[in-house]
Amino acid sequence: VGGEQISSIGRGLCVLLGISLEDTQRELEHMVRKILNLRVFEDESGKHWSKSVMDKQYEVLCVSQFTLQCILKGNKPDYHMAMPTEQAECFYNNFLEQLRKAYKPELVKDGKFGAYMQVHIQNDGPVTIELESPAAAVDPKQLTKLEKQQQRKEKTRTKVPSESSRERNAPRNKDDPSASSGAEGDVSSEREP
């Protein structure tokens, strides 16, 4: 963070934690159990997928990453599903506290909440596993009202032509300033954040 190393671990797990608006204490407890008991390490005889981070007494590095909650609106990320900063920071700190209580506090490290960080991960394998709590798993048939509205807007946006075919085929007067091709400027209705 800002050119200074604030945390590091040896062998273990790097947890990139995305916190949703809908997350509760129940999801938090589920994720703590899942992370600590996930069998992704080999045992003493070399058998893969046999041991958890707790079995091996490895470390855990947690990084809060709201970008995991992004939904794409066309090609632009939308973060309305991410928990607001003040709530998310409290949730994240509670997550760390629960993780440390359930394991060894000295083996659980974290980044700096809300900071722009350079995260260097040496991904062994590489193995990357996405974990979601059962309540957080989304069935496409059960999209939230907001997501359905967004999808309707996207469909409407792509179906509406910018000009009628009659206007498109009509000859344009070179001297008429309103006869622009539209190439002179950005006519997008979307605003930058």
Tell me: the pLDDT tens digits for 11-51? 999 999 999 999 999 999 999 999 999 999 999 999 999 99
| 135: Cα within 13 Å, side-chain hemisphere | 12
The pLDDT, as a whole number, for residue 179 is 41
Question: Please, which residues have CB within 8 angstroms of residue 60's CB and are 6 or more apart in sequence?
Answer: 9, 12, 13, 15, 35, 36, 53, 99, 103, 107, 108, 109
Is residue 108 situated within a structural domain?
A: yes
* Least trusted range by pLDDT, from 58-67, 84-93, 159-168, 179-188: 179-188
Into how many domains does the chain fold? 1
Q: Report the alpha-carbon distance of residue 128 to residue 110 in Å, rounded.
A: 19
Is residue 191 situated within a structural domain?
A: no
The pLDDT, as a whole number, for residue 100 is 98
**Tokens 């159990």 — which residue?**
33
Is residue 4 situated within a structural domain?
A: no
Q: Report the alpha-carbon distance of residue 68 to residue 82 in Å, rounded.
A: 8
Q: CB count, 10 Å around CB of 171?
A: 6
Is residue 98 situated within a structural domain?
A: yes
- pLDDT-based confidence at 161, cuts 50/70/90? very low
Is residue 182 situated within a structural domain?
A: no
What's the whole-number average pLDDT of the chain? 81
Is residue 40 situated within a structural domain?
A: yes
Please give the residue range of the domain that contains residue 31: 12-122
Is residue 160 situated within a structural domain?
A: no
Structure tokens at 148: 């359905």
- State the catalytic residues: 67
* pLDDT top residue among 157 and 114: 114
CATH number at residue 98: 3.50.80.10
Is residue 51 situated within a structural domain?
A: yes
118-127 average pLDDT score: 92
